[in-house]
């Protein structure tokens, strides 16, 4: 069982992170580990003290050799055959969960798998809860919390980059970085505690000799490096929610189709064709984009279109990134600028970091502008840049500028994953930020006030925040939420 001990406190004073509520407790658990449906192979997985005996009774075999496949028939209580296939036995603690594990590999198909699972339940196994196999692996020190989460992230990955990053986290690369930082914090705390406990030592003044400050600043730099890597990992895992908004017939649906690479949205010359939000997920340059096409923003008496516009405005408020699409041939009055159009459409001008202006039909611009209007257009572009905004010229008809749009979007959200990126979650980012804040407090208490006790307390808080990432310090509700999001057979 996992025992978590703060390196500077007695073990009896530190409660073990207990497991989330599970009806099966420490009973032998079982679940179908492959997707239900028609397939060549279906796997039922068991874990627990009775898994081996259940397999023997189910198959009529007297023994199984660990890590060797055995061909068997699976029998009902009356001796009729349910199915036939392979039995794999992994003897604890040398298994995924750390317990005895049995995998029954039969034919795929809902009926056969459910009959086999029902028979396993008759023999004493209990239905596994969501993520319970992974929780037992975590609880038996086979995985830490980051590695357990990486299992789910690998399964749910929406791109090759996200999948490979999740596998690197599963192999322990992310955990290694966190554990190295924890070791640095432990040594820092030891130095500070020594300064507090031995204030009368004449040889060395631990708080003012510069050693602690140097080590603290090194740790702060390392935290910032890991935080930057984690932010990239979070973008790889979660992607960004992008909303396309603008006036009717500005080219929003055409842009969605261009980015998706297929005709997902209906495109016509009739204003108000799009009356509801339409979602599509695409991966461009390694970044997952959750795209939402919206109804054109305008005043209307049409009840259905008005509901669509209300949903569009809701989506706009929830977007990570907003693409304001406008038609350069008609959406701007003679002296209007795109920023003025944005204020008209959204009620107020969105933040520059959240808004990207898309000038559609830019391939027609040179034919439409005379010398005076061309000068006005150039002034408009300068004004956009001066205020920190960015415009990308595209043609949804020809595809011109789409690559520039994708590059600008990646730059806006700061997406430039390193070759060996690691998957990360929002909670990891939050824990790293709180760690960084605690270290900043410790630095101030050390350099400004020379307050050893307050430095020690800030370092303790930093260690606790960092320990949440791997599960060294985890509340029951956090563990329940994390493992509850897993598949039943994982």
Give the H/E segment covering residue 356.
Answer: strand 355-360
pLDDT in tens, 370-416: 544 455 455 567 778 889 999 999 999 999 999 999 999 999 999 98
Q: 394 and 280: one domain?
A: yes
| Domain membership of residue 390 as a residue range | 242-268+275-413
The model's confidence at residue 478, banded by pLDDT at 50, 70 and 90, is low
Q: Is 353 among the annotated ligand-binding positions? A: no
Does the annotation place 134 within a ligand binding site?
no
Per-residue pLDDT at 329 exceeds 70 = yes
- Give a yes or no: residue 75 inside a domain: yes
Q: Evaluate whether residue 357 is within a structural domain.
A: yes
Q: Are residues 387 and 293 part of one domain? A: yes
Residue 149 lies in a domain: no
Span 426-431, average pLDDT? 96
* pLDDT, mean of residues 132-139: 95
Same-domain pairing of 282 and 407: yes
In a domain, 6, yes or no: no
20 domain residue, yes or no = no
The residue-averaged pLDDT of 308-319 equals 94
Q: How confident is the model at residue 263 (pLDDT cuts 50, 70, 90)?
A: confident
In this model, does residue 191 exceed pLDDT 90?
A: no
The response to whether 69 counts as a known ligand-binding position is no
Compute the Cα dihedral for 409, 415, 418, 420 and give only its sign: negative
Residues 457 and 383 in one domain: no
Residues 130 and 263 in one domain: no
The answer to whether the annotation marks 274 as part of a ligand binding site is yes
Annotated binding-site residue? 130: no
pLDDT at 7 over 60: no
Q: Are residues 214 and 135 in the same domain?
A: no
Q: Is 436 contained in some domain?
A: yes
The CATH number that applies at residue 290 is: 3.40.50.300
**Residue 490, annotated as binding a ligand:** yes
Does 45 belong to an annotated binding site? yes
Q: Is 253 annotated as a binding residue?
A: yes
Is pLDDT above 70 for 260?
Answer: yes
Higher pLDDT, 368 or 47: 47
Regarding whether 261 and 228 lie in a shared domain, the answer is: no
Q: What is the DSSP string of 395-459?
A: -TTT-TTHHHHHHHHHHHTT----TT-----HHHHHHHHHHHHHHHHHHHIIIII--HHHHHHHH
Q: What percent of the chain has pLDDT over 70?
A: 84
Task: Write out pLDDT tens, residues 62-75.
Answer: 999 999 999 999 99
Average pLDDT over residues 413-422: 83
The percent of residues above 90 in pLDDT, for the chain, comes to 68
Is 28 annotated as a binding-site member?
no
Claim to verify: residue 251 and residue 382 sit in the same structural domain: yes
Per-residue pLDDT, averaged over 336-364, amounts to: 92
CB of 27 closer than 8 Å to CB of 100: no
Whether residue 421 is annotated as binding a ligand: the answer is no
Tell whether residue 296 is among the known ligand binding residues. Answer: yes
The answer to which of 46-50, 164-168, 241-245 has the lowest mean pLDDT is 164-168
Q: Does the annotation place 254 within a ligand binding site?
A: yes
More confidently predicted of 435 and 369: 435
Q: Is 250 annotated as a binding residue?
A: yes
pLDDT exceeds 50 at position 10: no
Determine whether the annotation assigns residue 124 to a binding site: no
Residue 21 or residue 291, greater confidence: 291
251 is annotated as contributing to ligand binding: yes
Q: Which segment, 24-38, 140-154, 196-210, 262-276, is predicted with the most confidence on average?
A: 140-154
**How far apart (Å, rounded) are the C-alpha atoms in residues 450 and 434?**
22
Check residue 176 and give its pLDDT: 95
Together in a domain, 246 and 227: no
| pLDDT in the model for residue 487 | 72
Mean pLDDT check: name the lowest of 198-207, 323-332, 461-470.
198-207
331-346 mean pLDDT: 85
- Provide the pLDDT confidence category of residue 13 given band limits of 50, 70 and 90: very low
DSSP one-letter string for 66-100: TT--EEEEEE-TTS-EEEEEEEEEE-TTSSSSSS-
Residue 221 is labelled as binding a ligand: no
pLDDT at 99: 97
Mean pLDDT value across residues 107-111 = 92
Query: Does residue 325 sit in the same domain as residue 214?
Result: no
Mean of the per-residue pLDDT values of the chain:
86
Confidence of residue 19 (pLDDT cuts 50, 70, 90): very low
314 is in an annotated binding site: no
Phi-psi domain of 463 (left: phi exceeds 0; alpha: psi -120 through 50; beta: other): alpha
Say whether both 182 and 96 belong to one domain: no
């Amino acid at each position: 069982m996992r025992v978590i001990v703060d390196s500077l406190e007695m073990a009896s004073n530190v409660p073990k992170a207990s497991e989330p509520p599970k009806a099966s407790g420490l009973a032998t658990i079982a679940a179908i580990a492959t997707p239900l449906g028609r397939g060549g192979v279906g796997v039922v997985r068991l874990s627990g003290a009775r898994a081996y005996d259940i397999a023997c009774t189910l198959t009529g075999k007297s023994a199984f050799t660990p890590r060797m496949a055995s061909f068997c028939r699976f029998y009902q209580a009356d001796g009729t055959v349910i199915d036939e296939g392979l039995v794999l036995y992994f003897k604890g603690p040398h298994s995924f969960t750390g317990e005895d594990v049995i995998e029954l590999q039969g034919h795929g198909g809902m009926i056969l798998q459910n009959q086999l699972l029902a028979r396993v339940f008759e023999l004493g196994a209990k239905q596994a809860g969501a993520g319970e196999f992974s929780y037992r692996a975590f609880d038996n020190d086979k995985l830490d919390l980051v590695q357990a989460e990486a299992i789910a992230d690998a399964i749910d990955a929406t791109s090759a980059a996200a999948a490979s990053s999740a596998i690197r986290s599963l192999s322990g690369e992310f955990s290694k970085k966190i554990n190295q930082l924890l070791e640095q914090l432990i040594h820092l705390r030891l130095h500070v505690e020594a300064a507090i406990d031995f204030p009368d030592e004449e040889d060395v003044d631990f708080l003012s000799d510069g050693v602690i400050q140097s080590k603290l600043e090194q740790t702060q730099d390392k935290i910032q490096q890991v935080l930057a890597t984690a932010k990239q990992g979070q973008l790889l895992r979660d992607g960004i929610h992008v909303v396309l908004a603008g006036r009717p017939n500005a080219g929003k649906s055409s842009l969605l189709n261009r980015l998706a690479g297929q005709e997902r949205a209906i495109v016509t010359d009739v204003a108000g064709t799009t009356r509801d939000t339409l979602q599509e997920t695409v991966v461009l340059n390694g970044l997952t984009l959750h795209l939402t096409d919206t109804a054109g923003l305008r005043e209307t008496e049409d009840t259905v279109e008005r509901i669509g516009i209300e949903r569009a405005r809701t989506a706009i408020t929830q977007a990570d990134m907003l693409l304001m699409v406008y038609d350069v041939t008609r959406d701007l009055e003679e002296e209007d600028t795109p920023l003025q159009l944005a204020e008209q459409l959204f009620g107020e001008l969105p933040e520059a970091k959240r808004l990207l202006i898309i000038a559609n039909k830019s391939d027609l611009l040179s034919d439409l502008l005379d010398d005076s209007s061309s000068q006005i257009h150039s002034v408009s572009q300068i004004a956009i840049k001066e205020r920190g905004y960015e415009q990308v010229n595209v043609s949804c008809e020809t595809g011109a500028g789409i690559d520039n749009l994708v590059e600008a979007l990646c730059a806006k959200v700061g997406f430039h994953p390193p070759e060996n990126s690691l998957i990360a979650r929002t909670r990891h980012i939050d824990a790293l930020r709180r760690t960084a804040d605690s270290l900043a407090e410790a630095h101030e208490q050390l350099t400004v006030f020379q307050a050893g006790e307050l430095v020690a307390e800030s370092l303790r808080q930093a260690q606790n925040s960092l320990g949440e990432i791997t599960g060294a310090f985890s509340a029951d509700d956090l563990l329940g939420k994390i493992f509850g999001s897993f598949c039943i057979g994982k």
